[in-house]
Structure 1
Amino acid sequence: MVGLVAVGLAGCSGDPLWPKRSAETAEIAPLPEGIVRPVARPDDRSASLGETANDAPVAQAKGSLGTTIVSLGTPTEPGLWIKTPLVKGPGKGRVSFRGKTIDVKLIAIEGEASAGSRLSMQAMQALGIPLTDLAEVQVLAI
């Protein structure tokens, strides 16, 4: 039995089913759409898992982005954020509702500027918006 294992392993090095690949000839399989392969950064930090092209900073105008109707976003996604078509990329912002204002992370979603937005559960609670309501909020980029 030991002889069979040794013969089987000896044949792997030149076996066309088990070709040797060097780093230069290895093919890299494509990733699903929206996922970015981690790369080395100048300061030797690796990109974090789950980081996507949408996480890259995007220059955008500061100030009022307009009003939007918000509904509850994914309740299991923590933090203070708004997913809105009013922005083209991530950034820092503020959301105001009936005299209350909070700082939030702006996250771009596709759609017409007049389309609705999704607000995190923590943001809705901080603004005093009932979780089942649709509310009109003012959005600002800071």
Structure 2
Amino acid sequence: MARFVPLLTLVALSAACAQLRGPAPEAHAEVAPAPAPVAAPVPARGVTTSAAALDTVSEAEKAAARAEAAAAPAAGPLGQATVALGDPADPGLWVKTALVDAERPGLVRTGGGDGIAVTLRPLGSDGGAQISLAALRALGLPLTGLHTVTLAAR
């Protein structure tokens, strides 16, 4: 009998472990389906992260604006303004400034002499002057920071 005690201990221990593990899986048990793959988040409608994607003014339109600024004499200088990037989702070539009280055609020039034809828009608030994303890109200016430009009416 002393020889069977270690064997009986092993059997008892094995039975106890089986109880802790729970019942053995049945051969016909249903397997839960794998969760559906999670799609990448979709940005809100109209929201993009690329400056190129937001700039809807074609290179041909920018070239025409440069040519118009080079050929068209200014009707009168309005003054200098320090501009920052305006609403990047607002398309077109424009500058919002307190120097005009109604929308009108105009020119914007950098300190280096580069210029483009733009639409001058009244600022309509106490904030600083703003320039469109397309206008900044057409002038070759960085999208960040403040830029001193000269504005003129056409």
TM-score, normalising length from structure 1? 0.53
Q: How does 1:39-78 map to 2 (within 5 A)?
A: 62-78=75-91
Shift of 1:99: 1.3
Residue segments in structure 1 that go unaligned for 5+ positions in a row: 1-61
The CA distance in 2 between the partners of 1:137 and 1:116, in whole Å, is 13
Aligned residues with identical type, % of pairs:
42
**2:117 counterpart residue number:** 103
Q: Measure the CA separation in 2 of the matches of 1:99 and 1:92.
A: 19
**Could you say which structure has the larger radius of gyration?**
2
State the Cα deviation string for residues 33-63 of structure 1 (Å, max 9, x = none): xxxxxxxxxxxxxxxxxxxxxxxxxxxxx31
- Alpha-carbon distance in 1 for matches of 2:145, 2:132: 13
Q: In the TM superposition, what is the alpha-carbon distance from 1:111 to its structure 2 partner?
A: 5.3
Q: CA RMSD in A?
A: 1.4
- Matched with 2:136 is 124
**d(CA) in 1 for partners of 2:129 and 2:81?**
6
The number of equivalent residue pairs is 79
Matches of 1:139 and 1:116, distance apart in 2: 14
TM-score by structure 2 length?
Answer: 0.49
More helix by proportion, 1 or 2?
A: 2
Q: List structure 1 runs of 4+ shifted beyond 2 angstroms.
A: none
Structure 2 residue runs of 5 or longer lacking an equivalent are 1-74
